[in-house]
Amino acid sequence: MRLRITFAKQGALRYTGQIDLHRIWERSARRSDLPLAYSRGFHPQPKIQLAAALPLGFSSRCEVVDLRLERDIPLDGLIERLQSAVPPGLTILSVEQEDESVPALGTLIESAEYEVTLLGKVSLADLRAKIGDLQAAASLLRERREKRYDLRPLIENLDISPLDPQVIRMRLAAREGATGRPDEILAELGIPLEDARVERTRLIIRESQP
Amino acid sequence: MLTPREIELRLDRILLKVAKPGRYVGGEVNITVKDWHAARTRVALVFPEIYDIGVSNVGLKILYDQVNQREDALAERAYAPWLDMEAQMRANGIPLYSLESFRPLAEFDIIGFSLPYETLYTNTLNVLDLAGIPVLSAERTITHPIIIAGGHAATNPEPMHRFIDAFVIGEGEEVIHDIITVVQQFPKTALDSEREHLGAGGRENMLRALARIPGVYVPRFYRIHYRDDGTVAHTEALVEGIASPVVKRVVAKLPPPPTRFIVPNIEVVHNRVSVEIMRGCTRGCRFCQAGMITRPVRERPVAEIVAAAAEAIRTSGFEELALISLSSSDYTDVLELVTAIGERFAGRHLIVSLPSLRIETVSVDLMEKLRARRAGGFTLAPEAATERMRRIINKFIPDEDILNTTREIYRRGWTTIKLYFMIGHPSETLEDVRAIAELCKRVIAEGRKVLGGKAKLHAGVSTFVPKPQTPFQWVSCDTPDQIAAKQDLLKRELRDRSIKLSWTEPEVTMHEAWLSRGDRRLADVIYTAWQHGAKFDAWGGQLHYETWLAAFAEHGLDPAFYTQRQRRTDEVFPWEHISAAVRKDFLFQDFRMSLEGEIRVDCRQQCFACGILPTFNNLRRENRGEVWKCPDVPVRLATGVQLPVSVAAD
């Protein structure tokens, strides 16, 4: 049985990385008495699939994990059962059964949306101008881990929230080999990371085509 | 003082600049967060090492549960921030805070430090400083928390006497409640008018009351008098009604063990459930402080261990269970225990480790039971490799037993065996050290017969440091040159691709040796060394040896006085007024016997009257039977008639 769980990752869990999150899910599944399926071989690994690693320090309202179980279990009460087993900071939003034939989670994610709340005082005009510059740029060459890449095509949307001038919204590509990061956008805008709070708000998952 | 919210805001700005920020944010499964304002007494429990090492400490977990189970108190945790985080905290005005609620440590009523070993001393000072609490006890006022400390290093508390308000000697489960009761009588938040009622020396009066609790040692109420040669003449108690010596506390019966373990969100050193199966040890190895000071042996019943393990695994989701004690295969029902664990977790993926196995009692049956759930290597501790040395240290295991046992272990699928040895014992020669190498070669040869090139041996060779409250507390320690020569010999002799040799740097050993048998004057050395940057001394590369030597020089003290000096037979030790209830005569007699190479058998077989039984007579009487391994004491009837004691045949 394949369970797809969406969850929020906030509070202290902002400071855990992808590998830590994997382990958190494994232990949470054990504490909830879920019959997790394990791979075969010398070092059996639990069949847990996370997708689109969230950088350290960011929170999220829209994370997704697939758990494979050894056998079918009823979905009733699963949300409560999981919620009481996960660490504080992890909020279970939904639990659904996913078809086995659907491709791996990691291959399905197209883009990610973020809300960046600015903590310091920023001039609205200044910010608008800088965002305008980014959008007008034909390319934004950067280096990540000693590899050069162009950030511009990875920016799918970038604006200031109409509800709150202290909040920047962005939609960035989140595919294998083509991922934009909010901290890179902030760097281009000249805003230090410690002056901002970043939360992922939506993962855009490609629906499987027939 | 900053509020928790302010601290969290400042943390958010700096946490991405440090390694493993998850160390500093709490939010783990199975923590207890109680209402700050509803608690009458708030206790901060500190393990003065980084989170990765401190979070799984079982001793503090026991106290955490004890305090939190009270309706009128709460306990929260703190650890030493690593160097990068400390720098950020100091630069950004963030005081050390508790992980449960981000409260500044300085707001708590009591701060309890665990001091399992001496190399954490400078970290302790650093933690106080980071918390904004005066490092020197004499400078604290009624507005500051009471600073207490306990643990094995507290058996000689003197080097830390200037920094700790009150030491707990022995086991803390019961005495922590006695301490809370006293502290509640002297509220920090008392109004000035109330404070007058408490007496101008409000804090002093509280410390006096603490000093009257059995097992609590408050250094300021004792004065040490020295002889001209720098040794101790005698200790003087300065107030009435306090004990001298301060005798350790023990619990008559081990209370139920913790069953809800804190599960870190990040990777740490130990990721397992630990259940204590037994306290104390009856082997009487002469170098071993733990064995001497944790007497008497009290065992937990098998059923209680299995139930606790099951509950702990269920509520934690950990994949590993460790059954711990000082000498686990000596646990009377060890086979029954391992069988019961196997049955309880049948069909489930669970690694069971049973460390601290004694070679003599590791039977083939036990190995068979452990092999299915094994992980990693199998560890044994021969310590010495010649008959002469084995008799001296009273850990007599013949070569043949070691070879037979290791062969059987290799046969059962463990590819790596770890053998612990110790160099630097009294009267040890290079021949004794060479014998360690020879024994290792014989062990790996046996392993190769069974497993070929797959057989591996890890020889962990530590360096002996004479510890207080042991038969070897009189001896002189090896010099760094002597230690280095012995280690060089081992490095030369053990060049083999299947043998890994690990050892301790001589300077690290010296550091431990200064502090282990230090007197009060070492407090000045510790303070000066810390002021010049000494901290995390236990970490490779972090020990500022020159800083320590300079600190000794600044205070006109010779480090060799504490290490390379044979103590006089009638010497009064700096820790003489602290008692682990093992008589000095007993220790001295054992020391004399070691000089003759005479061994003493396991005291389960024959009681040697170490002193525990007379001290804890009443406790023993209330807890008759096999769970205590000391001989039963006669029952005293109301009529005054003593019933005879039936001695169980062993």
pLDDT in tens, B621-647: 888 887 888 888 776 665 555 555 443
- Residue B203 CA to residue B210 CA, distance in Å, equals 11
A18-67 residue pLDDT tens: 999 999 999 999 999 999 999 988 788 899 999 888 999 999 999 999 99
Residue A210 has pLDDT above 50, yes or no: no
Which of A9, A10, A13, A16 to mutate to probe the B interface, most B CBs <10 Å? A16
- Better pLDDT: B363 or B343: B343
Q: Does B15 touch chain A (CB under 8 A)?
A: yes
Amino acid at B499: I
Whether the Cβ atoms of residue B632 and residue B625 lie closer than 8 Å to each other: yes
pLDDT score for B480? 96
Residue A11 has pLDDT above 90, yes or no: yes
- Residue B648 CA to residue B624 CA, distance in Å, equals 13
Residue A95 has pLDDT above 90, yes or no: yes
CA angle in degrees (0–180, nearest 5) for B585-B149-B68: 125
Q: Does A70 touch chain B (CB under 8 A)?
A: no
The CATH number assigned to the domain holding B151 equals: 3.40.50.280
pLDDT score for B200? 46
Whether the Cβ atoms of residue B321 and residue B308 lie closer than 8 Å to each other: no
- Residue B305 CA to residue B299 CA, distance in Å, equals 10
- Residue B373 CA to residue B321 CA, distance in Å, equals 10
State whether residue B282 is helix, strand or coil: coil
B119-139 residue pLDDT tens: 999 999 999 999 999 999 999
Task: Spell out the SS3 assignment of B559-614.
Answer: HHHCCCCCCCCCCECCCCCEECCCCHHHHHHHHHHHHCCCCCCCCCCCCCCCCHHH
State whether residue B365 is helix, strand or coil: helix
- The closest alpha carbon to B566, from B525, B595, B608, belongs to B595
Within a domain: residue B646? no
Q: Which residues, at least 6 apart from B432, have a Cβ–Cβ distance to it below 8 Å? A: B384, B385, B386, B388, B389, B425
Kindly indicate the confidence band of residue B520, based on its pLDDT and cuts at 50, 70 and 90. Answer: very high
Q: Which residues, at least 6 apart from B96, have a Cβ–Cβ distance to it below 8 Å? A: B78, B81, B89, B104, B105, B127, B130, B131, B132
pLDDT score for B329? 86
Same domain, A76 and A120: no
Same domain, B294 and B350: yes
Same domain, A150 and A135: yes
pLDDT score for A120? 81
- Residue B114 CA to residue B123 CA, distance in Å, equals 11
Within a domain: residue A133? yes
Same domain, A96 and A136: no
Q: Which of residues 402-461 of B touch A (CB under 8 A)?
A: none
Tokens representing residue B398 in the block? 């013949």
Tokens representing residue B401 in the block? 């037993």
Single residue among B461, B479, B504 that ends a domain in this structure: B504
Same domain, B115 and B186: yes
- Residue B269 CA to residue B56 CA, distance in Å, equals 8
Amino acid at B212: R
- Better pLDDT: B642 or A16: A16
Same domain, A125 and A175: yes
State whether residue B403 is helix, strand or coil: helix
Tokens representing residue B298 in the block? 């009290």
Residue A201 has pLDDT above 90, yes or no: yes
Q: Which residues, at least 6 apart from B276, have a Cβ–Cβ distance to it below 8 Å? A: B58, B254, B257, B300, B324, B325
Contact residues on chain B for A29, CB-CB shorter than 8 A: 317
Whether the Cβ atoms of residue B604 and residue B295 lie closer than 8 Å to each other: no
Whether the Cβ atoms of residue B306 and residue B321 lie closer than 8 Å to each other: no
State whether residue B30 is helix, strand or coil: coil
Within a domain: residue B528? no
Residue B198 has pLDDT above 60, yes or no: no
Single residue among B484, B504, B524 that ends a domain in this structure: B504
In terms of residue numbers, what domain contains B180? 4-21+36-247
Within a domain: residue A184? yes
Same domain, B241 and B282: no
Amino acid at B505: E
Within a domain: residue B224? yes
Contact residues on chain B for A31, CB-CB shorter than 8 A: 29, 314-317
Q: Does B355 touch chain A (CB under 8 A)?
A: no
How big is the A-B interface in CB pairs under 8 Å?
67
Q: Which of B13, B265, B317 has its CB closest to that of A194? A: B13
- Residue B249 CA to residue B170 CA, distance in Å, equals 5
Same domain, B230 and B294: no
Same domain, A124 and A43: no
Phi, psi of B483 (to 5 degrees): -65, -45
Same domain, B106 and B171: yes
Same domain, A37 and A112: no
Within a domain: residue B144? yes
Percent of chain B topping pLDDT 90 = 83
Same domain, B593 and B500: no
Same domain, B241 and B311: no
Peptide bond into B245 cis (omega under 30): yes
The CATH number assigned to the domain holding A141 equals: 3.30.70.100
Kindly indicate the confidence band of residue A72, based on its pLDDT and cuts at 50, 70 and 90. Answer: very high
Amino acid at B451: L
Look-up: residue for tokens 């010398």?
A: A42
How many distinct structural domains can be found in chain A? 2
Within a domain: residue B539? no
Single residue among B476, B504, B532 that ends a domain in this structure: B504
Tokens representing residue B588 in the block? 């001295």
Same domain, B376 and B242: no
Candidate ranges A89-93, B182-186, B366-370, B378-382; pick with highest mean pLDDT: A89-93
Average pLDDT over residues B167-186: 96
Whether the Cβ atoms of residue A7 and residue A24 lie closer than 8 Å to each other: no
The DSSP result for B142-181, as a single string, is TTSPEEEEESGGGGS-GGGTTT-SEEEPB--TTHHHHHHH
Same domain, B226 and B281: no
CA distances from B52 to B33, B407, B542 (A): 21, 35, 17
Helix B364-371 crosses helix B334-344 at what angle (to 10 degrees)?
20
| B16 CA: distance to closest CA in chain A (Å) | 7
Within a domain: residue B524? no
In terms of residue numbers, what domain contains A198? 108-205
Give me chain B's average pLDDT, please: 92
pLDDT score for B190? 57
B523-566 residue pLDDT tens: 999 999 999 999 999 897 889 999 999 999 999 999 999 999 99
Same domain, A118 and A85: no
- Residue B177 CA to residue B182 CA, distance in Å, equals 9
Same domain, A124 and A96: no
pLDDT score for A4? 94
Residue A118 has pLDDT above 90, yes or no: yes
Contact residues on chain B for A16, CB-CB shorter than 8 A: 22, 265-266
Nearest-10 Cα torsion for B507, B513, B515, B520: -130
Same domain, B294 and B149: no
Helix intervals (H) in B347-419: 364-371, 387-393, 399-411
- Better pLDDT: B630 or B33: B33
**Distance from chain centroid for Cα B387:** 29
pLDDT score for A47? 94
Kindly indicate the confidence band of residue B365, based on its pLDDT and cuts at 50, 70 and 90. Answer: confident
Q: Which residues, at least 6 apart from B418, have a Cβ–Cβ distance to it below 8 Å? A: B377, B378, B379, B380, B457, B458, B459, B460
Please compute, for residue B366, the number of CA atoms within 13 A of its CA located in the half-sphere on the CB side.
21
- Residue B263 CA to residue A48 CA, distance in Å, equals 19
Would the CB atoms of A31 and B314 count as touching at under 8 Å? yes
Tokens representing residue B548 in the block? 């320590």
Q: Which of residues 4-33 of A touch B (CB under 8 A)?
A: 11-16, 19-20, 23-24, 26-31
- The closest alpha carbon to B470, from B517, B506, B433, B522, belongs to B517
- Residue B511 CA to residue B116 CA, distance in Å, equals 15
Single residue among A43, A73, A102 that ends a domain in this structure: A102
Within a domain: residue A42? yes
End-to-end CA distance of chain B: 62
Other residues' Cβ atoms within 10 Å of the Cβ of residue A11: 17
Phi, psi of B358 (to 5 degrees): -95, 130
pLDDT score for B650? 31
Q: Which of A20, A26, A29 has its CB closest to that of B265? A: A20
Please compute, for residue A69, the number of CA atoms within 13 A of its CA located in the half-sphere on the CB side.
20
Kindly indicate the confidence band of residue B649, based on its pLDDT and cuts at 50, 70 and 90. Answer: very low
How many distinct structural domains can be found in chain B? 3
B432-460 residue pLDDT tens: 999 999 999 999 999 999 999 999 999 99
Single residue among A57, A75, A102 that ends a domain in this structure: A102
Same domain, A17 and A64: yes
Tokens representing residue B310 in the block? 């099951």
CA-nearest residue of chain B to A197? B12
- Residue B519 CA to residue B528 CA, distance in Å, equals 16
Q: Does A183 touch chain B (CB under 8 A)?
A: no
State whether residue A160 is helix, strand or coil: strand
Within a domain: residue B268? no
Candidate ranges A185-194, B154-163, B367-376, B401-410; pick with highest mean pLDDT: B154-163
Tokens representing residue B483 in the block? 């230690």
Single residue among A77, A102, A127 that ends a domain in this structure: A102
Same domain, B309 and B451: yes
Q: Which residues, at least 6 apart from B393, have a Cβ–Cβ distance to it below 8 Å? A: B285, B286, B287, B383, B384, B422, B425, B594
Contact residues on chain A for B98, CB-CB shorter than 8 A: none
- The closest alpha carbon to B147, from B180, B112, B123, belongs to B112
B107-116 residue pLDDT tens: 999 999 999 9
Contact residues on chain A for B25, CB-CB shorter than 8 A: 11-12, 14-15
The CATH number assigned to the domain holding B303 equals: 3.80.30.20
| A136 CA: distance to closest CA in chain B (Å) | 31
**Distance from chain centroid for Cα A94:** 15
End-to-end CA distance of chain A: 22
Tokens representing residue B294 in the block? 């944790």
pLDDT score for B643? 54
Whether the Cβ atoms of residue B472 and residue B466 lie closer than 8 Å to each other: yes
Same domain, A73 and A8: yes
Kindly indicate the confidence band of residue B349, based on its pLDDT and cuts at 50, 70 and 90. Answer: confident
Would the CB atoms of B25 and A15 count as touching at under 8 Å? yes
Produce one character per residue of A64-77: b if its CB has 16 or more CB atoms within 10 Å, e if not: bbbbbbeeeeeeee
- Residue B644 CA to residue B627 CA, distance in Å, equals 20
pLDDT score for B371? 79
Tokens representing residue B283 in the block? 């082997």
B254-294 residue pLDDT tens: 999 999 999 999 999 988 999 999 999 999 999 999 999 99
- Residue B441 CA to residue B439 CA, distance in Å, equals 5
- Residue A140 CA to residue A138 CA, distance in Å, equals 7
State whether residue A104 is helix, strand or coil: coil
Phi, psi of A14 (to 5 degrees): -60, -25
The CATH number assigned to the domain holding A19 equals: 3.30.70.580
- The closest alpha carbon to A182, from B25, B16, B266, B5, belongs to B16
ipTM above 0.90, yes or no: yes
Q: Fill in the DSSP letter of residue A145.
A: T
CA-nearest residue of chain B to A87? B29
Within a domain: residue B543? no
Look-up: residue for tokens 């036990």?
A: B366
Within a domain: residue A210? no
Same domain, A86 and A113: no
Q: Which of B12, B29, B267 has its CB closest to that of A87? A: B29
Same domain, B210 and B346: no
Residue A171 has pLDDT above 60, yes or no: yes
Amino acid at B129: D
Same domain, A19 and A92: yes
Give me chain A's average pLDDT, please: 92
In this structure, of A72-86, B190-204, B319-333, B627-641, the range with the lowest mean pLDDT score is B190-204
